[in-house]
Structure 1
């Protein structure tokens, strides 16, 4: 998907195969020389009104004339020390704070022709040394009295003189800090984009609440200076946040430039609001802006200001921006990133580099503008030139474009995690949690628990709010705002969210969540329902509880019980009354209720036994679906709801699963029984068959039997079935082994459930009488699951000459070369999202239903 500021039709959709390791390869040689230097532009501004105030702090102010004069004196000292001519120049570092002296020193380096490296004075000593070593820069003292700059250690790096204006270091939040080489046009271009968007004029006072050593702080400073505005510097790291409003009023700030973290930390006072009447625009940087941040900023500080969500990266400046005016509705969750500035285009591309469909997620690519020259001392394929000769930069951010052509950020490409087979953006979860009352700040990460990826929400509470009450509110609200797989397993209250000096979340400083193991009572339980329910409740609440613990005392509320009922419906295919769950809120009571409800459901279906009508109405050709091993036919209900409403659907489940009967011992016996059942519903073809997992193997055997009987089987859809080497041994002994796909090992399942040895022995004995004796439904399903696996071990598929569609999940690598050993007709392979165990649940089941309908769409009912 592509978009630009004018909605122009996109050009080349993909990224060209012309990799450029450095942006110097993408420019014409004389481009930099035709651009006036940043200092030359500043000098022109100063000539217009030298007495105008340029920079002000709490301790000192300086006019434009004084700033340019002081910078020229210092620049002369630098040139004397390191030369004024020659093809190369030495990077010069300024240890920067938010002071007038820092601004003079920075302007001096820009005036000297040497590249400027701004290094935050609050960086830890070791990290500061690493940045200086990486830049190969000499360090200049700030001109505390406007005297010559003292030059320290000898240089180790030299760059093209006149071409390089600055070397800016990234935050390092996604790895080691990288030195980004910017030419004068790129530095000035960033400032021009900002001053145009905000509409800066000489009458403005730019309230810069960002350290000037940060990329955004440098841009805000230069945007103000190149506009002839007054720039007021205020570092929130060393200033009293409570004094912010008074300071903005004192300096007469008309715009405020701050990190999202600072805006998020604002809270409305108990008394009258200290409204800052002069502030007309607030520009935020660093992290995605949330709707709740907009509300807090207006309530605490500037109710009549436009809020600008500024999405920019060090390597190419602004990517997109959007404005929320005081009359606009405040969006929930993240504020959209917006639209590219004029002359720039944004593409959203997939892993193959091609533009994705509108609304789909992919990596955000910036085309045009004035990207950086490249990374200092290293190559990168993130910079390049497309087929039209336009430079581009891969941001590494995930985004999507909405129907209005506006960009929405979803997070970093490397932040997304798989939870239960679903791709989850932690930033989306954080946006939902941030809107909960009492949450001042939030960070969401992932952790590994028992070989499963789980989400962790860290929350800092608003002053005066009880932390545990906020945690309970987060759990309850998350279930209401988020799908089950996006609900954090752990909610960890913190006094504050640790952040780096740049205001980004310091993930390394976040404490690991406390993971408790199930009690001995849970570990030794012989009831599979109890064990499964315990896991479900732990997921819903984010804590592990004993079987008879009061769940209300553990943090459950009415929304938690609704969430548990939803999870029970997805996993056990029954509907629980949340009121009954809340009436006796313990794991054991909920497990008993599940067993009671599933037994009642089984009794209501007992008249059919094997063939279960799931939808009997409709004019289309019926679809007969064989369940996976041990699964009841009602597990297919989510699939039925997604299929064509005019298509009758029947489920086929194991004989004896829901009524006392002798179970079938072989796949052929089960297939024979199923064929007899479906011919009672539909005596003659055409037939459409489908099967999930083991059910796909049974469906193929049914198709062979119907074909032998002269019936027309127009399609068999096997849903993530696996042809193991054991299954194929008798088909073609000379053929190579089939690639094994990840399956389910029952012994591993039992180990996962932590059943005791007596419980395991009891289950082995139950398997011997399963069918003749009906056990609790969850236990019954597990027993028949194991019986199904044993049936498969003794089965050899017959060669089927008809048409087969194979649906595969990511864990299934078997292709048509494998399936051609048992299917001689047409074979269609289609990949579907999800995992083997959840592809028949929402949201993945929609894709499965779509592929099934595509496979059987052309089947028509013959006229009689």
Structure 2
């Protein structure tokens, strides 16, 4: 083959075989880089030489025309093998080596292949899948031995170019199986090359260096590989499944990548790995597809890419290849809300099927794609193909997608969700994707997905509801606030009834959202039993307002509906201004012990006073283990430990203590030691003698420390002290309680002096206790604790470093761990789970050291 002038690939030039096109590129650009995986670097001449040699060995081993599988990693040898299989005239099936062999067997059996191309490290797996195995490493050894033939020998393809059929099956790619068992989608060379022209516009070509992060076993990955080779681009390969994404920014600079093709999930991780002010390589273009990107996330991505980078938000499928794209040029304002997938690419037209069953050029409905360049349907599955593919009289083919979309008068397409994700809520058909868009627009939300939960046949009385799974941007997310934000933008029937906070959304090996792995939401039926008395109706109205729900029932649980300590304080503040209930009755402890509407209404009706200490709340009181005593911080309520107690389990009693006078009667203590002395009396009422297990959050940790010192002085044993995100007893580290101008400080000090004396309206009472606690913290000194201790630090808080400096104040055995969230978020979902795991491990270690059993010397804990 002689050298020639490079001819760019156009829509008019796609009527050829993929191998013919790559051979033309190799002849025109023999010395240009083709693929580089960091270990193997091939120019186009060497790529063709190796592919031709391997192709001859495959042709000699595999039955003619039968699909051939490739089982290799995300590297240059895989690119050689794919091209080699195509050179035999057979279709290629790329197998993902990270997929279990049992699942790969389904692909091999369904495709009908009996030959697998692999290397030595995967030969055993390949032998389990097929009777014939062709080793790439052995083929290349033979090629080196036969070097005497020179370049001509290297181009000895087994099938002449004029015998390669551009309309014959070339690539078989398996779908994810999200709507059933995976199906093989088959495409011919002309379809592949047309996709290369639409993908390559403005991105690929000689001189472009494509950072390829997409697995070749998936349509986007094999399409990118072949598009890069067909357009004369260089490709550098990075596998985010075997290398940490944190390495990506430096790798992009090292390889000189100009184009990055990656999923939104990978881009999200790469941006998160950047140092402040750092940019993501020196890219001129980024292409992404696979899930919806919202405006806030797109803004973060563009900031990381710099001002000269064009972003291509793309939409396609295994059945269609690239369908549409939305291009955001440098300097162009980004869209608001969900980023559209844009307009159809050349050679593609889009319509929607409306409620009338007819196709329309604009409007909302199920999306239909029409083109001459679609795939040929599903391999060896004519019925499945006929269900969604329709041949047109002009030679085009239409494909009925599973996506619901809207097409505007300007031709811009916006995806609303999948057909099988729609759900009817109170008679209205809801696309959860519309709710996703509202949640993603909130600065406190990093990721979110809303799903419709439909009652099963066994769920008598149940009804369809929306559940939102939210990954917070920070730890201060409040569920009622999220609901209020949705309600302000959408109708009431589109407000999620439940919000589940997660540390991350589950994803498949393709980086797509894995809906099947979302945790099952709590089985809550809001309003199952209507309020029955005046008191229940009044309380239900207050609870619904605090949680931003349309209504709640008599047996609905405040906490299961998303309530937390802050929502409880807001509920109490609203009831205090309207109900004739004494302040010593309206406590967060009352809600903790009476969480349902009916229970809370009855407790308020009876105006319980006698014998109740609002400063003590017991969780899991019937548990058999030795109790854990936890002390709330400055202005913190005992109720804040409810989530921690739930995570520790029903068998672990948790006795939570808060400052006297915070709720109900009583003047507060004015030193850490006096507050500890007060808690000592409360502690002995629950557990007269040790050993004791103590914990505290923020200022409460210092109180727990002093409580431990006082117990030791009384001859009692303290097994462990758990410090939860607290400054050590060092005034140089603790922040000042008073700052600002002199007049402001005087006013704040006057307010602090009234702590517990004057009951403020609303939530200001808790703020006053918080400021008072900051004063106590700066005045506190004590000897180092020589007992066992565990220090837990909220890693996301700005004061994490100062709160980590406990070394000078602990002289016994101790350890420190960092956990997610900020100062208040460590006790809230989703961060309280990992925190509870660390506390549970500490308690289990104490049980093992105790030797007498977890419940030794312990009596059942009742309400204090």
TM category, shorter: 0.5 to 0.7
Task: State the Cα distance separating 1:180 from its structure 2 match.
Answer: 0.7
Aligned pair in 2 of structure 1 residues 206, 271: CA closer, same or farther (>3 Å)? Answer: closer
Tell me the equivalent position of 1:132. Answer: 108
- Partner residue of 2:413 out of 394, 398, 407: 407
Q: How does 1:581-592 map to 2 (within 5 A)?
A: none
Quickly say closer, same or farther: Cα 1:32–1:78, change in 2 above 3 A.
Answer: farther
Cα deviation, residue 518, structure 1: 7.9
Conserved? CA contact 1:263–1:293, under 8 Å: no
Q: What is the aligned counterpart of 2:509 among 474, 494, 501? A: 501
Counterparts of residues 732-747 of structure 1 (less than 5 Å): none
Q: What does residue 483 of structure 2 align with?
A: 475
Quote the residue 1:830 is aligned against: none
Residue 374 (1) aligns with residue 377 (2): yes
Work out whether 1:554 is the aligned partner of 2:559: no
TM-score w.r.t. the length of structure 1 is 0.56
Deviations along 1:205-258, one digit per CA (max 9) or x if unpaired, are 001121122111112222211121110111112211111111111111111101
In the alignment, the residues of structure 2 paired with residue 548 and residue 136 of structure 1 have an alpha-carbon distance, to the nearest angstrom, of: 56
Change in Cα spacing, 1:588 to 1:99, as seen in structure 2 (3 Å) is closer
Residue 66 (structure 1) aligned with residue 46 (structure 2):
yes
CA RMSD of aligned residues (A): 4.1
Q: Which of the numbers 341, 359, 368 marks the counterpart of 1:365?
A: 368
Alignment counterpart, residue 19 of structure 2, candidates 23, 33, 39: 39
The match for 1:808 is none
Q: How far off its partner does 1:524 sit?
A: 6.0
SS in 2 for 1:400: strand
Cα distance, 1:579 vs. partner? 9.6
Is the 2:71–2:94 Cα contact (8 Å) retained in structure 1? yes
C-alpha spacing 1:471/1:242, structure 2 compared with 1 (3 Å): farther
Give SS of 1:375's match: coil
Q: Aligned equivalents of 2:109 and 2:76: distance in 1?
A: 26
Superposition deviation, residue 440 in structure 1: 2.8
Contact 1:97 1:213 in 2 (8 A): no
Which among 515, 527, 535 is matched to residue 523 of structure 2? 515
SS class of match (1:167)? strand
In 1, the alpha carbon distance for the partners of 2:562 and 2:69 equals 59
- Given that 1:383 and 1:394 are in contact with CA atoms closer than 8 Å, whether structure 2 keeps it comes out as yes
| Structure 2: stretches of 5+ with no match in the other structure | 1-10, 133-163, 456-460, 602-864
Query: 1:861 — aligned with what?
Result: none
Distance 1:541 1:456 in 2: 13
The 2-side partners of 1:139 and 1:508 are apart by: 33
Q: Distance in 2 between matches of 1:266 and 1:366?
A: 33
CA distance in structure 2 between the partners assigned to 1:490 and 1:291 by the alignment: 24
In structure 2, distance between residues paired with 1:315 and 1:74: 29
- How far did 1:79 drift? 1.0
Mean Cα deviation higher: 538-547 or 36-45: 538-547
Return 121-130 or 183-192, whichever deviates more: 121-130
Of 153, 160, 177, the match for 2:130: 153
Q: 1:346/1:548 Cα in 2 relative to 1: closer, same or farther (>3 Å)?
A: closer
Map 1:229-268; keep pairs closer than 5 Å: 229-268=233-272
Q: Match of 2:348?
A: 344
Q: What's the CA shift string for 1:275-314, capped at 9, x where partnerless?
A: 2452011111111222223122123444532111111111
Aligned position for 1:207: 211
Q: Distance in 1 between matches of 2:198 and 2:469?
A: 35
TM superposition shift of 1:350: 1.9
Deviations 1:623-645 (A, max 9, x none): xxxxxxxxxxxxxxxxxxxxxxx
TM-superposed CA distance for 1:90, in Å, is 0.8
Contact 1:472–1:556 (CA under 8 A) maintained in structure 2: no
8 Å CA contact 1:256, 1:283 repeated in 2: yes
Q: Is the 8 A contact 1:290 1:431 kept in 2?
A: yes
Deviations 1:423-454 (A, max 9, x none): 11112212222232343322221224642111
What is the correspondence of 1:626-645 to structure 2 with a 5 Å cutoff?
A: none
Change (3 A) 1:548 1:285: closer
Alignment of 1:177-576 (within 5 A): 177-196=182-201, 198-268=202-272, 271-276=275-280, 278-356=282-360, 358=362, 360-378=363-381, 379=383, 380=385, 381-448=387-454, 450-462=461-473, 465-466=474-475, 469=477, 471=479, 473-516=481-524, 525=533, 529=537, 533=541, 536=544, 540=548, 554=564
In the other structure, the counterpart of 1:93 is: 69
Superposed CA deviations along residues 294-340 of structure 1, whole A, max 9, x for unmatched, are 12212344453211111111112111111122322222321111111
Q: Which has the higher contact order (CA 8 A, sep 6+)?
A: 1
TM-score for the superposition, normalised by structure 2: 0.56
Residue matched to 2:711 = none
Residue 33 of structure 1, CA deviation: 14
Q: Deviations over 1:787-809 (max 9, x none)?
A: xxxxxxxxxxxxxxxxxxxxxxx
| Residues in 1 aligned to 2:529 and 2:376: alpha-carbon distance in whole angstroms | 64
Q: Is the 8 A contact 2:177 2:183 kept in 1?
A: yes
In structure 1, the gaps of 5 or more residues are 1-30, 562-575, 593-864
Question: Using a 3 Å threshold, how does the CA distance of structure 1 residues 425 and 75 change in structure 2: closer, same or farther?
Answer: same
CA contact (8 A) 1:38 1:188 kept: yes
- Cα offsets for 1:533-577 (capped at 9, x unmatched): 48955973599897997999637779x99xxxxxxxxxxxxxx99
How is 1:8-47 mapped onto 2 (pairs within 5 angstroms)?
35-47=15-27
Among 19, 24, 28, the residue aligned to 1:48: 28
Measured after TM superposition, the shift of residue 422 of structure 1 is 1.5
Partners of 2:269 and 2:174 in 1: how far apart? 26
Return the alpha-carbon distance in structure 2 between the equivalents of residues 438 and 373 of structure 1. Answer: 45
